Amino acid sequence: AHRAQHLNQGVLGISSSNSQPVEPLTAFIGGLLSQGGMFIRNGSGALMSAWAAAGRLIGYYEAHMNPWDGLPGIVLMREAGGITNDYLGHNGLQQGNPVLLANSVIYPQLKALLPAHISL
């Protein structure tokens, strides 16, 4: 996992899901940018979560990932000493869930940017 201590010390991976409304994501991105953060979106959540685990990104967020995309990155991040949300809660294995992963300092900063109605 990346060693960043603040959101402005690296680049965050972000993906969007067509099954989710766009407004919460734009609010999240606005919060990130207001804190000096930057983001990248390359179209592969699985790759970006692996990059986050390897320390190339400060973290990764997606409002909804299917398990075949989300679980590998979650395992990699946990093995790298990072923190992830409880992906398997709320029937995540069958239906998918949001994914948020980062180091132990960045994770709560990212979580604070999420709208209150988003449950991790």
pLDDT digits (tens, 9 = 90+) for 42-77: 999 999 999 999 999 999 999 999 999 999 999 999
Give the per-residue pLDDT at 94. 96
Q: What are phi and psi of 19, to 5 degrees?
A: -85, -5
- pLDDT above 90: residue 87: yes
Q: Could you tell me which CATH number the domain at 13-113 has?
A: 3.40.190.80
- pLDDT of 117 above 90: no
- Beta-carbon neighbour count of residue 87 at 10 Å? 21
Pairing of strands 97-102, 59-65: antiparallel
